Structure 1
């Protein structure tokens, strides 16, 4: 699960996650973040370094 807000500045970032995830399969992540309006380094870090742990841990219920 992507955090709703950036941990550092508090900007809402979860609203762009689906578009970011879809577009990074075919485009460069830096360009996608620029197009989506994510300019702050802290917000970019939140999206670039996120790992979907829910999919990995779901089988271990």
Structure 2
């Protein structure tokens, strides 16, 4: 399976009072998990959002 074949679209929903929203469309109802990682890249305790989506069901 080619990389990113599961994703169909991403839509920016906007930001308000320090919260940003976006939508991620997938090719089917797939299992997913969302979590944050703290540290490294760019450092100063950078926080990264990870969206982990299953590719097979």
Taking structure 2 as the reference length, what is the TM-score of the superposition? Answer: 0.24
Higher helix share: 1
Of structures 1 and 2, the one with the larger relative CO (CA 8 A, separation 6+) is: 1
Q: Which is greater in Rg?
A: 2
